Chain A
Amino acid sequence: MKITDAVHRVDGAGKLKGETKYIEDMHFDNMLYAKTLRSKIAKGRITNIEYPELPKEIFIIDAEDMPANNEVAIIERDMPVFAKDAVRYLGEPIALVVGEDKDAILKYMSKIKIEYAEEEPVCDLSQAAKKPDHIMTERAYEKGNLSEIEYDEKVTEIFETTYQEQLYMEKQGVVGTVEEGVVTVYGSLQCPYYALGALKHAMGMDETKLRVIQTPTGGAFGGKEEYPSLLACQVAAAAYKLKRPVRLVLDRREDMAYTTKRHPSKMVITSYIKDKKVLGMDFDIMLDAGSYLGLSDVVMQRAIFTMTGGYKIANLKMRGRTVRTNNVFTGAFRGFGAPQSMYALELHMSHLAKHLGEDPLKFRRRHYVKRGDLTATNGRFNEEIYLDRLTDLLENMSGYKEAVSKKRILAGYGVSVVPHGGGFTGDGEAVHIKAVVKLKKESNGRVTILVSNVEMGQGAITTLSKIVAIVLEMDMDRVGYETPDTFKVPDSGPTVASRTTMVVGALLARAAAKLKNRMHEPGEVIITEHFKQPDYVKWNAETLQGNAYMAYSWSVLLARVEVDPVSYEVKCTDIWGAYDVGVPIDEKLLIGQIQGGMVQGLGYAIMENMTSKAGGIEQFTFSSYPIPTTMDVPKLHAEWIINPYQDGPFGAKSVGELTLVGVAPAVAAAIEDAIGIITSEIPVTPEVIERSLV
């Protein structure tokens, strides 16, 4: 078997039969249900909470019940587990109401009276950004000397993006229990060790008294990266106090209205052009972080470090800011800042090409980076980059030249070219994550993978098992995967940043190569591997100079749309994608990621319109927040080149996030091409089109 050959997913049959037990399907003896008591205002002080007399079997868990700290440790510790005196966003948790009967909990909750001293919330991103104390973090870097370049003209544009909700099909859910003196949290989550870290701080106990076990996760897309840390602290405190299992599964409306989603952004981009080439670029992005920092600073960094995409631009000035508002707390979502900045960059590049009277791909080709070039942050692109080859592939597979020359009325084409860096930014893998993996040969000759990276639909179990099986030249069904359980698996880092295959898979491949020589030994053999930073990665976290990422994957996309001249409804008929992900570990899993990312990106481009009014998310049901259905999906065409990456397992690079990032700018450009407008915001809804025509 070749590494790229498709196999049946390890977890497929159990899911099809409905046998896989997700958190809401699991049974715990003597279990209590929890429901979150939430703030009804966006900003203010809590002056009084009147709890009616507690009936038997109804319990309140609040800030007073946190054994050590009423703080959720993410990067900062600015977010409380339960709001105590002040509330900073609508829906902020104040307490858990816990009981045996769900109806009794709701009945009791309806009688709780909370009095607030309301304050004026700050909900508008631009207004908030004018207040110095609302800038949570700011980062900037420069390259060359933008102020001294000579240019023919400069073009400035402003772009805006709104929220996108992950809308995983399985809602957020956790169960806290106390098992033999150990506070244990089971949950639908991406990062068991993030949750463990938060628990240590909140509970004041160490990892021998705290345990996190991941349960089969019904989609996550970043939405179950940092948010479950909050839920874990809440149920851990409840279970610790009540000494019974406590289950908190959010209602879908709560999940949509109050959990993290993609950051709304405002971006200003200016290009300095000479001889039809971009010589310099100024880019400024601000992100609505909501009330607490969470991962927003890291999201903002990826937004500015992914600039300037696939293009070599000698003079740059880049700035990013995270802005505090009283809107919902925003966070990780597939692409992690890059969907915003690449939407702006790529639609801007299409606008520049049009302005200069050039084909958008031909214009882009003149700027393409190649191996050895300086990155935006003055690192060196270390691996071979084949953007011309990818563009050729795209043009051939889509019949690009003929298609655009024979364009029909009300039909349009748009392109994008984007990279995505695999793994953590800069030296993050070596300095912050320090991944450790283990591979265990059992005495019966079977091999078990011990990592903290979870299966959430992307195919991690299958991918990692396949890597190990092929290195060991054994059947995949003799390779097992231990449930991510902090009592059993080492900390190989979070399941984020498209790092599972590229980084963790590489460590497992190395471990398997070592184990191969020891398979004949009797009894158990355990191989442990630690992440080592490749020599070519040089990064200065203070100056933001060096290699922002170890290696980049690439996509070149073409979208075709048709626009209804009466209703302005957009039908995306085709998306073509040419990809460089190194060597795909499994062609079917790659296709699954590509198609899923394309469609989620299409939702971001034209359908998924989530807005906030006075701090409250306005679309918190499936019916008010439509995502693509079977009727909305275009024909999806994907091809790829093989370009082995020296430090990836079998040459693999990252996949998951890349597939979403380039879709919105390509689709937006196609709509513009179809109907002759210029847009500056997504989603491009019929209303946006109508406004653009005026």
Chain B
Amino acid sequence: MSEYQFVLNGEKRFIDCELSRRLLDVIRIDEGLTGTKEGCQEGECGACLVFIDDEIFNSCLVPMSNVVGKSVVTIEAYAKTEEYQRIERAFLEAGAVQCGYCTPGMVMAVSSLLRSGKPLDEDAVRMGLSGNLCRCTGYQTIFEAVCSLKESGGQDV
């Protein structure tokens, strides 16, 4: 058994693969957690965003060596939080979901933005989501959804 470990969605895991293996493949293939999507394969689109020790990363660019001893959170675990519930309501209300492929990654970016404590005005939201590509919505409904979280206390998280 490998001496290297990481924490995935709160559970300890031994790293049995090569340390150069992409975190995205471990999450999706080895662990079967398919909520994290592969879009561009080069860190441009944000569909594969996950939290590593509370910061968002494109998991397609992260080798397993970079998560040794760290805590990784995917959409599957995040979707169980109350904070997520507020994001879900806001996205549904604003009509901010279309094909859905960028959506879990977008949710992770929104979560990161909420935690940053930045004011949820449109400029901050644009900047905060600039690493997430969406081909369907034209982003405006996503901005509306995120800005609406202001009223529901997004900054207090």
A contact set with B: CB distance below 8 Å = 6, 8-9, 11-22, 24-25, 27, 166-171, 216-221, 251-253, 456-459, 588-589, 591-592, 594-600, 621-623, 627-631, 633, 636
B100 on the A face (CB < 8 A): yes
Is A21 touching B34 in the complex (CB atoms < 8 A)?
yes
Is B95 touching A627 in the complex (CB atoms < 8 A)?
no
Is B98 touching A458 in the complex (CB atoms < 8 A)?
yes
Is A17 touching B35 in the complex (CB atoms < 8 A)?
yes
Is B100 touching A218 in the complex (CB atoms < 8 A)?
yes
Other A-B pairs beyond A17-B79, A17-B84, A251-B41, 15, CB < 8 Å: A8-B93, A16-B107, A18-B35, A19-B35, A20-B100, A169-B102, A216-B100, A219-B101, A592-B95, A622-B44, A623-B42, A628-B139, A630-B132, A633-B138, A636-B140
Chain B contacts with A in 20-51, Cβ cutoff 8 A: 28, 32, 34-42, 44-45, 47
B129 on the A face (CB < 8 A): yes
Closest to A621 in B: B42
Is A16 touching B135 in the complex (CB atoms < 8 A)?
no
Total number of B residues with any Cβ neighbor in A under 8 Å: 52
CA gap between A660 and B105 in the complex, in Å: 26
Closest to B107 in A: A16
A-B contact pairs, 17 of them (CB 8 A): A8-B92, A16-B107, A17-B84, A18-B37, A18-B79, A19-B35, A25-B34, A169-B39, A169-B99, A458-B98, A592-B136, A622-B40, A627-B135, A629-B130, A630-B125, A630-B130, A630-B132
Is B100 touching A15 in the complex (CB atoms < 8 A)?
yes
Give chain B nearest CB distance to A219 CB in angstroms: 4
- A595 in contact with B97 given A16-B103, A627-B135, A630-B132 (CB within 8 Å): no
- Cβ-defined partner of A633 (8 Å) among B38, B47, B136, B140: B140
B154 on the A face (CB < 8 A): no
Against A, the Cβ 8 Å flags (1 = close, 0 = not) of B108-135 are 0000000000000000011101101111
CA gap between A6 and B144 in the complex, in Å: 15
B141 on the A face (CB < 8 A): yes
Give chain B nearest CB distance to A262 CB in angstroms: 14
- A170 in contact with B101 given A16-B88, A622-B42 (CB within 8 Å): yes
Query: Interface residues of A: mostly helix, strand, loop or mixed?
Result: loop
CA gap between A173 and B134 in the complex, in Å: 19
**Chain A residues whose C-beta falls within 8 Å of the C-beta of B57 in the assembled complex:** none
- A459 in contact with B36 given A219-B135, A595-B141 (CB within 8 Å): no
Give chain A nearest CB distance to B112 CB in angstroms: 14
Closest to B106 in A: A16
Interface centre among B37, B100, B134 (most CB of A within 10 A): B100
Give chain A nearest CB distance to B139 CB in angstroms: 5
CA gap between A429 and B98 in the complex, in Å: 27
Give chain A nearest CB distance to B123 CB in angstroms: 10
B6 on the A face (CB < 8 A): no
Give chain B nearest CB distance to A630 CB in angstroms: 4
Is A12 touching B91 in the complex (CB atoms < 8 A)?
yes
Is A169 touching B138 in the complex (CB atoms < 8 A)?
no
Closest to A459 in B: B98
- Cβ-defined partner of B133 (8 Å) among A171, A456, A629: A629
Closest to A598 in B: B138
B152 on the A face (CB < 8 A): no
Give chain B nearest CB distance to A258 CB in angstroms: 15
Closest to A590 in B: B95
**Chain B residues whose C-beta falls within 8 Å of the C-beta of A16 in the assembled complex:** 79, 87-88, 91-92, 97, 100, 103-104, 107
**Chain B residues whose C-beta falls within 8 Å of the C-beta of A631 in the assembled complex:** 126-127, 130
- A630 in contact with B126 given A457-B99, A622-B133 (CB within 8 Å): yes
Against A, the Cβ 8 Å flags (1 = close, 0 = not) of B49-72 are 000000000000000000000000
**Chain A residues whose C-beta falls within 8 Å of the C-beta of B88 in the assembled complex:** 13, 16-17
- A633 in contact with B41 given A169-B99, A169-B102, A592-B98 (CB within 8 Å): no
Give chain A nearest CB distance to B108 CB in angstroms: 10
Is B101 touching A596 in the complex (CB atoms < 8 A)?
no
**Chain A residues whose C-beta falls within 8 Å of the C-beta of B134 in the assembled complex:** 169
**Chain A residues whose C-beta falls within 8 Å of the C-beta of B32 in the assembled complex:** 27
Closest to B80 in A: A17
Interface centre among A20, A220, A629 (most CB of B within 10 A): A629
Is B45 touching A622 in the complex (CB atoms < 8 A)?
yes
Closest to A220 in B: B99
**Chain B residues whose C-beta falls within 8 Å of the C-beta of A18 in the assembled complex:** 34-37, 74-76, 79, 103-104
**Chain A residues whose C-beta falls within 8 Å of the C-beta of B103 in the assembled complex:** 15-16, 18
Is A170 touching B99 in the complex (CB atoms < 8 A)?
yes
Give chain A nearest CB distance to B90 CB in angstroms: 10
